[in-house]
A = this chain, B = another copy of it.
Amino acid sequence: MKVEIIVIGDELLIGQVTDTNSGYIARKLNLVGVEVLRTTAIRDRAEEIITAVEESLLRVDTVIVTGGLGPTNDDITKKTLCEIFGGEMIFSKATQESNDALFARLGKEMNSLTRSQAMVPDCCKVLPNPVGTAPGMLFKRDGKQLISLPGVPYEMQKLIDDQVVHIFENIGNTEKIFHSTRVVTGFTESKLAIYLSEFESSLPSSIKLAYLPKPNIIRLRLTARGNNEESLYCDMYQATVRLDELLKDNIIAYDDLTLEEILIKLLQEKSYTISTAESCTGGGIASKITSVAGASTVFMGGVVAYDNTIKTNILGVEEESINVYGVVSTQVVEQMAKGVADKFMTDCTIATSGIAGPSGGSKQKPVGTIAIAVYCKGSVQSRLITIPSVNRMRNVERFIDLALYDIIKMLI
């Protein structure tokens, strides 16, 4: 089964908000064998909504629309869909009652605008939204369907999980989709592609190989698509076995795991604890680690030592080392790594100090330079490297990835 997604909102087209809804929907629908062919982002304009919806309905049988269901004047999706499917707006008692209950729970009062959320097109099936005032809507025409969902991510997610996924499960798709991902290290993307070229060309037509490179690692994704689940499963099994043989020790994860997930798994396997001492990454490493559910089994905590006084007073870095080697140096981060290990009594630690930018660099240590130390059970490793970028956000993200990579390599 193939669908298209349309996300609606001026804020998406001026870059004020990043669309994460379509990705969420795609991930959830993939699991029940639904393929997303296209995602279109359009503005809150009736004529543009009508055009995009009609175009999509020509290409696929099901279109999912998110956004533009708020109570304010700039939100026009509901009215426009009502027009497209030729209906009238009517009062939905069930929606009003659901919204009343929601407001009572939140201790808020309804007003004329929130009350207007209970007006729905008479040509749709209402998909109740227990966590917001805008219900989902299911429209049908000529054997095709359109599902409209609110743009607020958690409201959309609730509707997808509890209702939309089941709509597709009930249709009974004939096509199946499997993905299998390996996280690989020790190759550049092109070296890996050359190394795997024979493997790739020998794959059955049902299986496609994709490369998703990140600094230091490459995610390799095998995707199997077809109607015969059994033979597809067989093809995929053989392909992954051969891939695993070819890459052996270069594989650092057999699932589509993030670096932080790989780290936590490794620490759990070894029953090690970890803490962090961060300067330039500003809590980003701790934040990444704690984004994984279950991090508390291995992560004790950390120090964000942004100012130099925190490095000396809290982590016991020698002031002389800062003066002699500079605060961005392997000497200083090694002391930070040992300092937080002592203080937080953990088996492993990660320490960072660098220049994220956009300013603050020098000739010897330009913006993009970072010193990283990783520590485990008494031994410490460190390095100083420079990324050729003055983009602060990008540098911090890269710094975090590099540091996570270093500790993973030490533990593997």
Choose the segment among A83-91, A284-292, A372-380 that binds chain B (4+ C-beta atoms closer than 8 Å).
A284-292
* Chain B residues closer than 8 Å to A219, beta-carbon distance: 16
Verify if A41 is at the interface (C-beta below 8 Å from B).
yes
1/0 per residue A310-346: CB within 8 Å of B?
1000100000000000000000000000000001110
Closest CB of chain B to A123's CB: distance in Å?
25
Choose the segment among A32-40, A245-253, A263-271 that binds chain B (4+ C-beta atoms closer than 8 Å).
A32-40
B16 touches A212 (CB 8 A): yes
Verify if A72 is at the interface (C-beta below 8 Å from B).
yes
Verify if A256 is at the interface (C-beta below 8 Å from B).
yes
Verify if A30 is at the interface (C-beta below 8 Å from B).
yes
Q: Is the interface of A mostly helix, strand, loop or mixed?
A: mixed
Verify if A237 is at the interface (C-beta below 8 Å from B).
no
B301 touches A276 (CB 8 A): no
Verify if A94 is at the interface (C-beta below 8 Å from B).
no
Copies of this chain in the oligomer: 2
Residue A179 contacts which of B14, B22, B41, B343 (CB distance < 8 angstroms)?
B14
Choose the segment among A106-114, A140-148, A168-176 that binds chain B (4+ C-beta atoms closer than 8 Å).
A106-114
* Chain B residues closer than 8 Å to A43, beta-carbon distance: 37-38
Verify if A394 is at the interface (C-beta below 8 Å from B).
yes
* Chain B residues closer than 8 Å to A393, beta-carbon distance: 291
- Count of chain A residues near B, Cβ 8 A: 104
A38 touches B27 (CB 8 A): no
A14 touches B27 (CB 8 A): yes
* Chain B residues closer than 8 Å to A40, beta-carbon distance: 38-41
Verify if A82 is at the interface (C-beta below 8 Å from B).
no
Task: Give the residue name and chain of the B residue nearest to A311 (CB).
Answer: B301
Query: How far is A189 from B310 in the complex, measured between Cα atoms in Å?
Result: 42
* Chain B residues closer than 8 Å to A206, beta-carbon distance: none
Query: How far is A17 from B10 in the complex, measured between Cα atoms in Å?
Result: 22
Closest CB of chain B to A180's CB: distance in Å?
13
Choose the segment among A227-235, A384-392, A402-410 that binds chain B (4+ C-beta atoms closer than 8 Å).
A384-392
* Chain B residues closer than 8 Å to A13, beta-carbon distance: 26, 35-39
B190 touches A114 (CB 8 A): yes
Shortest 3 CB-CB contacts between residues of A and residues of B: A282-B290, A283-B286, A283-B283
Pairs A–B under 8 Å by Cβ, sample size 24: A11-B221, A15-B27, A16-B219, A18-B18, A18-B20, A18-B23, A38-B42, A38-B43, A38-B48, A39-B41, A41-B41, A72-B190, A73-B209, A114-B188, A276-B283, A281-B287, A283-B285, A284-B287, A286-B287, A290-B306, A295-B306, A296-B307, A300-B306, A301-B304
A-B contacts besides A15-B27, A38-B42, 18 pairs, CB < 8 Å:
A11-B212, A13-B26, A13-B38, A16-B23, A18-B23, A39-B40, A70-B189, A111-B190, A113-B194, A276-B283, A283-B283, A286-B306, A293-B392, A300-B309, A301-B303, A301-B305, A302-B303, A303-B303
